Amino acid sequence: MRTLRFLWVLGLLPPCYCRYFSGETFSEELVIRPLPDGKVASRFEFTTLLHGATPRNPQNLSVEDHSQHYTLFPLALGQILREYAVTELHLTLNAGKWNYDRWGYPEESDVATGASLWAWMAEGSGSASAANARHRVDARWRDLRNALAGLFCASIASLDEQRTTSPGRAFTPVGALPAWPASVQHAFRHASLPSENVCTENLTPFLKLLPCKSLSGLAHLLNPHRLFDADWHGMGLHVSWRPNEGVQVRLTFQSVSDPLRAGGNSRDWSLRLLFDRVVDRACPVAASSRIIVTLPTKELYSVHPEPSSVVDGRGAFDLSDQSFPLDLRLRWAEPFQHATVPSAEAPLSVRRMLRGSAQDHGALAISITNPDSDPVSVVYLETLPWIVYLYLSTLELSVGGVRRPDLLQDISYIAPVPHGRAATLEAFLSLPARSTVTLHIGVGRSFLRYTEHPPDAQRGWDLPGAVVALLPAASGNQSSATDSTNKGAMQEMKKWNQPQRIYTPALLVDPATPDFSMPYNVIIFTCSLIAFIFGSVFNGLTRRFVVLKSPE
């Protein structure tokens, strides 16, 4: 009976049930990885490939674009990409701080706290005429922010010029940048807003971009009630161009759930436990749809159902040969105990702190530990809003208390413009094997104009996290060196020849803030009164007024 009804639906919508649409492919994947501290990391990836498409050449922005007809590719996004001629675009909205030391390197490498947006765009037609002013990179970057803010219901629009930077080395395009004739180089723009809160209002538009929404397939597991209760969660949008394939849109959702939070000592998980949902049916338009589970290597466990294949300790479940409803379950034979000896999970361990309790100055202290037996080179990127400025002359590098200026290979610094532009510091560092390098820079805190204080509760200003990018040349032998490191993600990064980026948590800085509440007025009033009384009394005691009769 059930099959009959299904066939009837099929008859009604014949064009929908073909997995390969002309020129568009949709595939989905869920990677679940138990973490050493008992938590479970899961990563959803929804990839849509528009075959044969190329990004729009901004030189042709004044010419009308060809019409857009998509079946699987999200139209709302396609329109934004074409309108502002964006070649490559990345947007991440994350909540929480990714704990590299305990969770290892994430499947999705961009885990900066809050909202981050970065894009590559070519310069529009060079003439400075008023009509074409909107085709300039900065104008399109502004419009892109506003459009994405509308699409994702996030405060991306506030990533204004005061937060936009263009660092040179830490970020490289994932895809290729087309070499258009008569076009200048691609420009890179990056901005981040660490105080952005990510929640349901961002997930709903995210789901709308998927062909099956959250009705079927893996996206059905995206249950806001459980995802936003997780220890860490983040969504990402990645658009890139592959020369031989086309334009690829990758929508990702990553979360870290804690099965131990209920209070027991069992880290067994199931899809129902993690997401409070099971997969009822496959997404009919997905070309491939699979769940990959990292299986324990040292402990006894049982997994139900059996994976279709096991490669390299990772079991793959293809949704096409699973029975529905599908609820994956992984059980350990032994109860879980927390490790009391810390193990290095990530390729590098980075800590960043703001020292000093004064309100006008302090110091930024960064320590980077390289647990590896080989020296590595990294790019240390710091993008600071102008509220905080660096004293570059106080930059000091040391290993175990010994000053090592030789570790700093190169440095580039774009100074902040007060009330206008953020600062960018990129430092090339070489980290000796098995050592901790400490970087110490004095910082000053600006004095804000009173209108620059936000009108709501004043908790301070969030400084975006720093980025430490492992240069690809050195990361070649990383995955073989540390056993516990998240191999899958490392190989992924190697495949695209991307520098591995490690994000530090955001920092809170409170510049000198007057107490804008009532007592402030009272204090001012009282002080004026006392000054007035004192002044007149002092005058009266020390000066003498006499009447002189002037001879007429």
Partner 1 sequence: MDRIRALLRPAGDRNLNRVRRRQALLSALTRRIHLLKITLFCVGYLWMLALPSPRLGRGIYIDENALGPGQVNTYWNWGDVANADRYLELLEGLRDSNSTHEQRAEVLKMEFLKLGIPASTQNYVFSSSTGKYEGTNAYAVLSSPRTSGTEAMVISASWVSRIGEEDGTLNLRGVSTVLALANFLKRYSLWAKDIVFVISDNHLDGMQAWLNAYHGETQSNLQAAELELSSGVIWTALNIDYPGHSFSHLGIFHEGINGRLPNQDLLNSFHYISKWTGGVPVLVYDHVESQNTAPSWIPAEYREELHGYSHRSNTILRHIGYQARGRGSGVHGLFHQFRIDAFTMFGLPATGPHGFHAIGRIVESTLRTTNNLLERLHASFFFYILATPDHFLKIGSFLPSAVLISVAMMFAGLKIWSDSAWIPDTSAAIEKEGENNGNKWIERIRPVLPVLGMMISTHIGGVALFYVLTTAWFSHNQTIASILLVAILATLSLRALLVPAEDTRAVAPVSQLLKALNLCFASTVISITTVVNFSLAMSLAILLGIPLSLSSPSKSLPLRIAKFTAYLGLASAWIFASDEVRKALWDWEILRVWFAPFVCIVYTPLVLQAAFVCLLPS
Say which residues have a Cβ less than 8 Å from residue 258's Cβ, sequence separation at least 6: 38, 39, 40, 230, 231
Could you tell me the smallest distance in angstroms from the CB atom of residue 113 to partner 1? 4
Choose the binding region for partner 1 from 51-59, 116-124, 210-218, 502-510 (rule: CB under 8 A): 502-510
CA atoms of 326 and 328, how far apart (whole Å): 6
Position among 297, 340, 393, 451 found at the interface with partner 1 (CB under 8 A): 340
User: For residues 353-372, which are near partner 1 according to CB under 8 A?
Assistant: 353, 355-357, 362-363, 365
529 is a contact residue toward partner 1 (CB under 8 A): no
Could you tell me the smallest distance in angstroms from the CB atom of residue 457 to partner 1? 4
233 is a contact residue toward partner 1 (CB under 8 A): yes
547 is a contact residue toward partner 1 (CB under 8 A): yes
DSSP-based three-state secondary structure for 407: helix
DSSP for 312-373 reads: TTEEEEEGGGS-SSB--EEEESSPP---SS----SS-EEEEEEE---SSEEEEEEEEEE-SS
Please give the torsion angle defined by the CA atoms of residues 262, 263, 269 and 270, in that order, rounded to the nearest 10 degrees: -30
* Interaction pattern, residues 175-194, with partner 1; x per rule: CB under 8 A: -------------------x
CA atoms of 10 and 252, how far apart (whole Å): 29
Position among 228, 301, 332, 389 found at the interface with partner 1 (CB under 8 A): 228
Could you tell me the smallest distance in angstroms from the CB atom of residue 493 to partner 1? 24
Position among 104, 259, 385, 505 found at the interface with partner 1 (CB under 8 A): 505
Could you tell me the smallest distance in angstroms from the CB atom of residue 420 to partner 1? 25
CA atoms of 397 and 367, how far apart (whole Å): 10
Choose the binding region for partner 1 from 56-64, 76-84, 414-422, 504-512 (rule: CB under 8 A): 504-512
Whose Cβ is closer to partner 1: residue 115's or residue 279's? 115
DSSP-based three-state secondary structure for 265: coil
Position among 230, 237, 249, 271 found at the interface with partner 1 (CB under 8 A): 230
Say which residues have a Cβ less than 8 Å from residue 181's Cβ, sequence separation at least 6: none
542 is a contact residue toward partner 1 (CB under 8 A): yes
CA atoms of 291 and 308, how far apart (whole Å): 10
Position among 139, 157, 260, 471 found at the interface with partner 1 (CB under 8 A): 260
User: For residues 78-107, which are near partner 1 according to CB under 8 A?
Assistant: 95-97, 99, 102
508 is a contact residue toward partner 1 (CB under 8 A): yes
* Interaction pattern, residues 112-131, with partner 1; x per rule: CB under 8 A: -xx-----------------
CA atoms of 189 and 164, how far apart (whole Å): 7
C-alpha separations of 216 from 26, 157, 447, 451, 487 in Å: 14, 32, 53, 49, 30
User: For residues 192-211, which are near partner 1 according to CB under 8 A?
Assistant: 194-195
Whose Cβ is closer to partner 1: residue 182's or residue 358's? 358
On whether the CB atoms of residues 130 and 62 are closer than 8 A, the answer is no
CA atoms of 268 and 58, how far apart (whole Å): 52
The count of chain residues that interact with partner 1, using the rule CB under 8 A, is 58
What is the total residue count of the chain?
Answer: 552
541 is a contact residue toward partner 1 (CB under 8 A): yes
Position among 213, 351, 421, 453 found at the interface with partner 1 (CB under 8 A): 351
How many Cα atoms sit within 13 Å of 414 on the Cβ side?
18
CA atoms of 490 and 483, how far apart (whole Å): 12
C-alpha separations of 95 from 41, 104, 151, 460 in Å: 14, 17, 19, 18
CA atoms of 210 and 35, how far apart (whole Å): 28
Position among 74, 307, 462, 479 found at the interface with partner 1 (CB under 8 A): 462
538 is a contact residue toward partner 1 (CB under 8 A): yes
CA atoms of 417 and 403, how far apart (whole Å): 31
Could you tell me the smallest distance in angstroms from the CB atom of residue 190 to partner 1? 19
403 is a contact residue toward partner 1 (CB under 8 A): no
17 is a contact residue toward partner 1 (CB under 8 A): no
What residues line the site for partner 1 (CB under 8 A)? 37-38, 95-97, 99, 102, 113-114, 194-195, 228-233, 258, 260-263, 337-340, 342, 351, 353, 355-357, 362-363, 365, 457-460, 462, 505-508, 510, 515, 517-519, 522, 537-538, 540-542, 545-547
